Chains A and B, each alone.
Chain A
Amino acid sequence: VTEYTAGLLVVILLYTVLSVTLNLLLSQAGLFSVAHAIFFGIGAYAMGYMTTARGTSWIVGTAAGMVVAAAIAAVVAGVSLRVSEDYFVIVSFGLQVIGLSILLNWDAVTGGINGLAAIPLPQIGSWSPDTTVDFVKLSAVVAILVVGIVALLDRSPYGRVLRASRDDPVATAALGKNPVTYKISAFIIAGSLAALAGSVYAAYRSFISPDDFGIDLSILLVAMIAVGGMGRISGAIAGTVLLELLPELLRRLSLPATAVGPVQQIIFGLLLVAVAMVRPQGLLGGTWPDFAATVRWVRKRV
């Protein structure tokens, strides 16, 4: 395995964590969030700050990131979902913009536009990953762990109540489960797991800057899920792999360097439109939007 392939693998594995957790929000809880990159960033920056400025271990820094991400998710979802779900997309946009603005301007903690450098290698028990291949192993462990957690949640009573809250909040409430509480908890879980991925990412890169956590990444993650297939973990994983390998194909086309980024984004955009028009459930999807919910939705409107 070359250094380059290994690096690509690390990114694919970590983005898999992001897309699988975002899929929990998008298709299980029915919450359209475009702020997932910010939770990834919170994890990365919290770990970077704790280890460089406070001298704590990687594990303590990671835990701090997950707690901060969970707290922010709780406040944002708590405030916006209790009032009205209609605005959640726009609120999450706001979170993304304000979050990035804080990463860019809170120089004392985030290093501003320069970012954080010289983030130390993690020390996990007696093992310290120091090669890219070691980071592939670490990322794989994290990815398997997170996919396992999300898969368990999907199949558990919790997952069923979450889907019920998405499809019919009134009936869910009538059965004694508060749909808003379930959605808030899903946002907290997804946010803190994204922070875990961010912490591994920061350790792997050892240098992070706000560019890594912008709205482009948030939208890319949504695109991965939409292309791969909503409502299925396999769909989210397939979409991640597909959209991460696409740039590798483009590299072979020998485009001018400045055109690679835009061409890649144009393809992402057109893919989104094409998927919506030709196969709205995504490549591997099929359960979402599920038939009964669609019928209810149509009946309400037509």
Chain B
Amino acid sequence: MLELQLFVNGLAVGSLGAGLAMGFTLILGVHRFWHLAHGAVYLWAAYLTYILLATLGLPFLAVFILIPLIAGTLGGLLELTIYHYLRVRRVHPMVMLLASMGVYIAASNFAGLLFGFDPRVPVTPTLDHAYQVGAISFTLVEILAVLLGLLSFGLLQFILGRTRVGLEMRATMLDEDMATVVGAHLSRARLLSMVLGSALVGWPALLQTVDTGVQPSIGLNAVLIAAVAAIAGGLGSVEGAYLGALLVGVAEMLPLAVLPTEWQSATAFIVLIIFVLIRPTGFFGRTLWSART
């Protein structure tokens, strides 16, 4: 039964990662560079959750509504201040990656300077409630994680599939030239993808903060897992990123039945290696870059 329990825990962990991975893959698809500062947005969304809940004492529901908006704003500001400027100057994608890395380092250490490097956990007793179904137990946080993962997936699919801006984003992902020709507004698509992709990390940040707390190192782990999930899903594929994140979550938890926990951080990369070796195009068999060149 331990395996089943770990599988369920893995799905919950994976659903947290799904918000991150879907946002990451959307931004990667539209912008075509590795947005490492995604981890910085996640980290700051988590610290702001902590401030809103513990310092300002806002009710959980208010934070639940506010935090995606805040995370989206952070991402939008990054686009407006740094990325847009770099893109106008037509720098090499490697330089975009460097800038993104710089943002991550500065933002995570700024958090460390302000809050220290130890985990901070706001006290929210109601969410610790555990349920028992047969031999499987799970917490309210885990149920919320799975539900919010599904909700994020549904919302993103709706926006991408049924709205004009969503159509513009998808067009930009496929082919920037043709998107412009058929009337898509490129800089709007880029800004909105950054806002939307960043907003998606809000709920995972909220849940991780109330569940295990926040510390400056969580950002890097988060963005790495998002990147692995995005690769497993096929770059730019939202469905793939969702499935990829669930797979990474389960792959992280299941081996705990036989392996000591120290090796856990390495398991996500075993998934990466398997995909790079066996199916480098991800679940649904597409890659953005190779399709273009």
Measured CB to CB, the residues of A under 8 A from B are: 26, 30, 32, 79-80, 83-84, 86-87, 89-91, 93-94, 97-98, 101, 104-105, 215, 219, 222-223, 226, 258-259, 261-263, 265-266, 268-277, 280, 289, 293-294, 297-298, 300-302
Give the CA-CA distance A32 to B103 in the complex, in Å. 17
The answer for the CA separation of A94 and B270 in the assembled complex, in Å, is 9
Nearest residue (CB) in A for B85 is: A277
Interface code B71-97, partner A: CB below 8 Å = 1, 0 otherwise?
000000000001001100111111111
| Chain A residues positioned under 8 Å from B227 (CB to CB) | 90, 93
Question: Ordered nearest first, which 6 A-B pairs have the shortest CB separation?
Answer: A272-B102, A269-B106, A269-B105, A94-B269, A276-B99, A265-B109
Q: Give the residue among A30, A219, A269, A280 with the most B Cβ atoms within 10 A.
A: A269
Which chain B residues (259-279) contact chain A, with CB distance < 8 Å?
260, 262-263, 265-266, 268-269, 272-273, 276-277
A89 contacts B34, CB within 8 Å? yes
Known contacts: A104-B262, A269-B106, A273-B82. The answer to whether A91 contacts B97 by CB under 8 A is no
- Let me know if A97 and B266 touch, CB within 8 A: yes
A222 near B101 with CB under 8 A, answer: yes
Q: Does B287 contact A (CB under 8 A)?
A: yes
**Min CB distance, A168 to chain B, in Å?**
11
Say whether B89 contacts A79, CB under 8 Å.
no
- Partner pick for A280 among B91, B224, B263, B269, CB 8 A cutoff: B91
Interface residues of B in 274-288 (CB under 8 A from A): 276-277, 280, 287
Known contacts A259-B113, A269-B105; A86/B95 CB under 8 A: no
- Once the chains are docked, how many angstroms separate the CA of A282 from the CA of B7? 48
A-B contact sample (5 more), CB < 8 A, given A105-B260, A272-B102, A276-B96 = A97-B265, A97-B266, A97-B269, A265-B106, A276-B98
With contact pairs A84-B290, A265-B109 given, residues A273 and B276 touching in the complex (Cβ less than 8 Å): no
State whether A91 and B102 are in contact (beta carbons under 8 Å apart), knowing that A84-B287, A269-B107, A301-B176 are contacts in the complex: no
CB distance from A102 to the nearest CB of B (A): 8
B side interface size, CB within 8 A: 54
Q: How far is the CA of A239 from the CA of B80 in the complex (A)?
A: 29
Q: How far is the CA of A223 from the CA of B96 in the complex (A)?
A: 13
Q: List 6 A-B contacts (CB under 8 A).
A: A32-B94, A94-B268, A219-B101, A266-B113, A269-B104, A272-B99
B273 and A79 form a contact (CB under 8 A): yes
- Alpha-carbon distance A89/B108, docked complex (angstroms): 20
Given A86-B290, A269-B107, A273-B106, A105 contacting B235 (CB threshold 8 A)? no
The residue that A101 contacts in the complex, of B96, B101, B262, with Cβ under 8 A, is B262
Residues of chain B at the chain A interface (Cβ within 8 Å): 32, 34, 82, 85-86, 89-99, 101-110, 112-113, 116, 176-177, 220, 224, 227-228, 231, 235, 260, 262-263, 265-266, 268-269, 272-273, 276-277, 280, 287, 289-290, 292-293
A interface secondary structure, majority: helix
Q: Which residues of B contact A272 (CB under 8 A)?
A: 98-99, 101-102, 105
Q: Which residues from chain A contact B265 at a C-beta distance below 8 Å?
A: 97, 101
Smallest beta-carbon distance B174→chain A, Å = 13
Q: A101-B262, A273-B82, A276-B91 are in contact. Are A83 and B112 (CB under 8 A)?
A: no
Contact A222 B34 (CB under 8 A): no
Given A262-B113, A277-B86, A298-B90, A270 contacting B280 (CB threshold 8 A): no
A79 to B278, CA, bound (A): 11
Contact call A266/B109, Cβ cutoff below 8 A: yes
A277 pairs with B99, CB closer than 8 A: yes
Min CB–CB distance A56 → chain B (angstroms): 29
What CA separation (Å) do A289 and B92 show in the bound complex?
Answer: 7
**Which residues from B are CB-within-8-Å of A302?**
90, 176-177
Contact present for A94 and B102 (CB under 8 Å): no
Q: Are B266 and A98 in contact (CB under 8 A)?
A: yes
On chain B, the residues within 8 Å of A223 by CB distance are 101-102, 105
For the complex formed, measure the closest distance between the CB of B104 and the CB atoms of chain A, giving whole angstroms. 7
Which of B85, B102, B224 is the one whose CB lies under 8 Å from A90? B224
Given contacts A89-B97, A97-B266, contact A84 B276 (CB under 8 A): yes
Assess whether A93 is in contact with B105, with CB atoms less than 8 Å apart: no
A32:B97 contact, CB within 8 angstroms: yes
Choice from A101, A262, A275, A294 contacting B112 with Cβ under 8 Å: A262
Nearest residue (CB) in A for B272 is A94
Asked whether, in the complex, the Cβ of B266 is within 8 Å of the Cβ of A101, the reply is yes
A residues near B96, Cβ cutoff 8 Å: 276
Docked Cα-Cα span, A280 to B89, in Å, equals: 10
Whole-angstrom CA separation of A271 from B97 in the bound complex: 14
CB < 8 Å: which of B99, B105, B268, B277 contacts A268?
A: B105
Contact of B98 among A91, A222, A259, A294 (CB under 8 A): A222
CA distance A84 to B272 in the complex (A): 13
Bound CA–CA A89/B235 (angstroms): 14
CB-defined contacts of A86 to chain B, threshold 8 Å: 235, 287, 289-290
Are A94 and B86 within 8 A (Cβ)?
no
Q: Are B269's CB and A87's CB within 8 A?
A: no
CB-nearest residue of chain B to A263 = B113
Name B99's contact: one of A98, A101, A273 (CB within 8 Å). Answer: A273
- Whether A226 pairs with B231 at a CB distance below 8 angstroms is no
